Amino acid sequence: MSLPVVFIHGIRLSGTMWSPVRALLRAPSAAPDLPGHGRRRGLPYDTEAACDVVAETIADMGGRALVVGLSLGGYVGIATAARHPGLVAGLVAMGCTARPDGPMADVYRFAGRLAARNPRLADRVSRFALRRMLPGAAGEAMIEGGLSSEVVASVVAAVTAEDPLASLAAYPGRVWLVNGARDHFRVDELAFLRACADGSLFHIQGRGHLTVLANPARLARFIDKAAEDVSVRAA
């Protein structure tokens, strides 16, 4: 039997975004909400608290797991792997290979300030955009657990204070870097790959940052294979 999989969601979303993939997965899985998101909405967000949520979820599932994260979830997965390498058997980091202190940081800081001014409006705009970007079950899963635009500024501040390249270099385990071929977060992917002790880079053709979730069956197969890989290594 494969090791369990712990999924980490993106900014302002919740663990429900992974429901279509989890429904097709053979491995046992969990998708906790990070601080300030979903069922933890209202709690302050910082990287340490986010990593603690992931570590506690892994501990509850037996003490070792494959961690899968997209966007913010990928950055949190990298940070967790560096802080708790004994818990993270392997890491699938998706849509998170841009240096957080790079040019896009200012764009996200600006977006965070806008969202803070009117979180309800930001939630409505996000809900509309996500449904347009991912029609059907995938888009509904993105919004099912609620949106938390008021936390964006805190998340951006926390992520931009991290050094994911140093964190990857500190983690000795297996890493899969996965990007949509059209994802702007690909910009530093080769530097991220070089930082890994044991890493591979994969592209999903025709997909962007969040539309990598448009084909949950394909993604579930990839993650099941990764879970089997780390399970064999652990054995």
Q: DSSP labels for 88-149?
A: EEEEEEES--S-TTSTHHHHHHHHHHHHHH-HHHHHHHHHHHHHHHSTTHHHHHHHHT---G
Q: What are phi and psi of 100, to 5 degrees?
A: -70, -15
The number of distinct structural domains making up the chain is: 1
Q: What is the pLDDT of residue 231?
A: 92
Q: 171: domain range?
A: 5-234
Please list the pLDDT of the chain residue by residue as tens digits (235 residues). 789 999 999 999 999 999 999 999 999 999 999 999 999 999 999 999 999 999 999 999 999 999 999 999 999 999 999 999 999 999 999 999 999 987 778 888 888 888 888 889 999 999 999 999 999 999 999 999 999 999 999 999 999 999 999 999 999 999 999 999 999 999 999 999 999 999 999 999 999 999 999 999 999 999 999 999 999 887 7
pTM reported for the whole predicted model = 0.95
Token code pair at residue 171: 């983690």
Whole-angstrom CA distances from 128 to 111, 135, 143 are 16, 10, 10
Closest residue by Cα to residue 188 from 91, 79, 90, 74 = 74
Fill in the DSSP letter of residue 208: -
CA–CA separation, 169 and 210 (whole Å): 26
Q: What is the pLDDT of residue 105?
A: 81
CATH number at residue 66: 3.40.50.1820
